[in-house]
């Protein structure tokens, strides 16, 4: 198995106890404590946490001063520090944000959701009403459609695709509310409208509303955070984040899409030959290695390559890792249970020989889709960026152990859309 000779120091317990005796320490508790307290000699009593009563239990837990994580912010978004995460749950205060008019302050007592248009019974629902209906909890990712940034070597996973996060979302199925209001036969689309300063709006096909759309009021066990749509938001599993309208205040049923600004001038993609994709709302399968990546340095020997993979079209079936710049690929271990439309942790144990190389991962989902290389995306789209840009991301390990982004040719402007 693994050898950790660089790190693991063999302990000779007899020697340690001898050292304790030599220091003349008073042994008041028992032999077990003595051994460890002296393992890092010299040590004063004030350095020793076993000699000092710690703080009592508190009303709220805290982060260690050594683990003060933050999002990277801009005027319109903030990115989750993927390289600092373990597993699949994103702490709610580190969930990425993308707002179109900032975060509105909504009084939960005054909150109402109106459902009207092509329905039998237009109805308003208070927050309390929403919570009376049968509820569902699902662990699902949420990702911004513009979640890609290339550039120089010194980019982290947070820079490259920190606009994805994952929570356990709880709420009522939209199909349940649709039964309450009664859809008219011609209803085939609905408008979802937010109560923010942008009055954010998107048109959604009824099929999604009847399939797995939710109105969620809770996230990771507690009320949805204001930045995530408090007191209630639409949640469309697997779809681009902007369609999961936050601060949801109105749903209008109709027989056609509403052609709001977010589906005409925004959130469409230029593809080849001057054409534009519209309502391209499902997030394609992708993966990213989160360790080792810039800015860490590694040592030769065994390490575990780690990352997350996800797909808006279902479950991840396979993640492959290459440690030789794409020549050979090996299946990574997936953390079970693998959930539908969810970040899935993958891991690959690897012994690095210390020579410069490039590592990368690629994801497959249950539709058979494979995460594309940058070059494949450029050939298909005619550009090197834009929405729904999910290329394989390679990382270079330099001989000194420094890990950097190996995608000099992948660059697009920092957050800008490509010129057609």
Residues in 132-171 at the binding interface with a copy of itself, rule: CB under 8 A: 132-137, 168-170
Please answer whether residues 148 and 160 qualify as being in contact, where contact means their C-beta atoms are separated by less than 8 angstroms: yes
Place of tokens 């994805």: 164
> Which residues are within 8 A (CB) of 54 and not within 5 positions of it... i.e. 6 or more apart?
none
Strand partners, 168: 139
Among 18, 102, 295, 354, binds a copy of itself (CB under 8 A): 102
Q: Which of residues 345-364 bind a copy of itself (CB under 8 A)?
A: 345, 347, 349
Determine which residue in the list 228, 243, 317, 361 makes contact with a copy of itself, applying CB under 8 A.
228
Of 102, 76, 100, 104, residue with least CA distance to 195 = 104
For residue 313, CA distances in Å to 202, 285, 318, 352, 364 come to 20, 7, 14, 34, 11
Give the Cα separation of 420 and 418 in Å (integer): 6
Candidate residues 27, 45, 128, 275; the one interacting with a copy of itself per rule CB under 8 A:
128
Site for a copy of itself in 270-309 (CB under 8 A): 302-304, 306
Residue 157, helix vs strand vs coil: helix
Our finding on whether 10 is near a copy of itself (CB under 8 A) is yes
CA distances from residue 186 to 48, 89, 245, 251, 255 in whole angstroms, order as listed? 72, 40, 23, 16, 6
Contact residue for a copy of itself among 83, 94, 215, 310 (CB under 8 A)? 94
Q: Tell me if 50 contacts a copy of itself by CB under 8 A.
A: yes
Instruction: Name the residue nearer to a copy of itself (CB basis): 106 or 234.
Output: 106
Closest by alpha carbon to 159, among 84, 258, 237? Answer: 84
In whole angstroms, the minimum distance from the beta carbon of 366 to a copy of itself comes to 16
CA-based R_g, the chain, Å: 26
Nearer to a copy of itself, 99 or 208 (CB): 99
Q: Is 330 in the site for a copy of itself (CB under 8 A)?
A: no
- Per CB under 8 A, 413 contacts a copy of itself: no
Q: How far apart are CA 150 and CA 191, in angstroms?
A: 34
From the list 39, 45, 276, 380, which residue makes contact with a copy of itself (rule: CB under 8 A)? 39
User: Per-residue x/- mask for a copy of itself, residues 375 to 404, rule CB under 8 A?
Assistant: ------------------------------
Task: Say whether residue 314 binds a copy of itself (CB under 8 A).
Answer: no
The separation between CA 407 and the C-alpha centre of its own chain, rounded to angstroms, equals 21
> Which of these segments, 101-109, 154-162, 262-270, 381-389, binds a copy of itself (CB under 8 A)?
101-109
Q: Does position 268 bind a copy of itself by CB under 8 A?
A: no
When binding is defined by CB under 8 A, the residue of 51, 186, 414, 416 that contacts a copy of itself is: 51
C-alpha 131/C-alpha 336 separation (Å) is 31
Residue ranges of the alpha helices (H) in 221-362? 261-264
Out of 187, 339, 359, 378, name the contact with a copy of itself by CB under 8 A. Answer: 339
Nearer to a copy of itself, 1 or 26 (CB): 1
Q: How many Cβ atoms are within 10 Å of 43's Cβ, its own excluded?
A: 13
97 binds a copy of itself (CB under 8 A): yes
Please list every residue from 172 through 191 that binds a copy of itself, using CB under 8 A.
Answer: 176, 179-180, 191
Asked whether the beta carbons of 235 and 213 are under 8 A apart, the reply is: yes
Binding-site size for a copy of itself (CB under 8 A) equals 126
Exactly one of 87, 331, 354, 413 binds a copy of itself (CB under 8 A); which one? Answer: 87
**Which residues contact residue 138 at a Cβ distance below 8 angstroms, ignoring those fewer than 6 apart?**
168, 169, 214, 237
Name the segment binding a copy of itself (CB under 8 A); options: 66-74, 282-290, 352-360, 384-392: 66-74
Q: Give the number of other CB atoms < 10 A from CB of residue 63.
A: 10
Pair of tokens at residue 401: 């152990």
């Amino acid at each position: 198995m693994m050898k950790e000779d660089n790190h693991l120091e063999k302990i000779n317990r007899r020697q340690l106890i001898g050292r304790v005796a030599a220091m003349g320490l008073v042994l008041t508790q028992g032999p077990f404590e003595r051994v460890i307290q002296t393992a890092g000699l010299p040590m004063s009593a004030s350095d020793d946490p076993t000699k000092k009563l710690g703080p009592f239990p508190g009303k709220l837990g805290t982060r260690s001063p050594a683990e003060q994580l933050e999002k990277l912010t801009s005027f319109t978004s903030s990115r989750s520090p993927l390289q600092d995460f373990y597993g699949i749950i994103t702490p709610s205060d580190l969930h990425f944000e993308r707002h179109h008019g900032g975060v509105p302050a909504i009084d939960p007592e005054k909150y109402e959701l109106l459902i009207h248009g092509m329905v039998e019974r237009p109805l308003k629902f208070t927050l309390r009403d929403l919570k009376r209906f049968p509820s569902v909890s699902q662990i699902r990712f949420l990702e911004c459609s513009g979640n890609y940034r290339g550039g120089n070597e010194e980019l982290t996973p947070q820079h490259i695709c920190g606009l994805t996060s994952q929570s356990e979302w709880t709420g009522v199925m939209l199909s349940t509310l649709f039964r309450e209001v009664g859809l008219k036969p011609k209803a085939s689309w609905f408008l979802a409208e937010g109560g923010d300063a942008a009055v954010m709006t998107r048109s959604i096909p009824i099929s999604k509303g009847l399939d797995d759309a939710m109105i969620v009021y809770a996230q990771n066990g507690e009320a949805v955070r204001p930045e995530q749509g408090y007191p209630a938001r639409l949640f469309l599993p697997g779809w681009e984040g902007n369609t999961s309208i936050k601060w949801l205040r109105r749903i209008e049923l109709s027989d056609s899409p509403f052609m709001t600004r977010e589906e005409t001038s925004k959130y469409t993609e230029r593809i080849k030959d001057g054409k534009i994709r519209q309502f391209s709302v499902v997030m394609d399968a992708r993966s990213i290695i989160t360790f080792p990546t810039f800015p860490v340095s590694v040592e030769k020997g065994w390490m575990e390559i780690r990352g997350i993979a996800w797909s808006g079209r279902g479950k991840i079936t396979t993640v492959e890792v290459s440690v030789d710049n794409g020549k050979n690929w090996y299946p990574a271990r997936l953390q079970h249970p693998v959930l539908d439309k969810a970040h899935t942790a993958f891991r690959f144990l690897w012994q690095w020989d210390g020579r410069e190389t490039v590592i990368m991962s690629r994801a497959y989902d249950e539709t058979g889709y494979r995460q594309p290389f940058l070059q494949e995306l450029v050939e298909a789209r005619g550009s090197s960026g834009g929405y729904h840009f999910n290329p394989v991301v390679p990382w270079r390990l330099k001989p000194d152990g420094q890990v950097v982004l190996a995608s000099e040719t992948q660059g697009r402007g920092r957050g800008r859309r490509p010129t057609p």
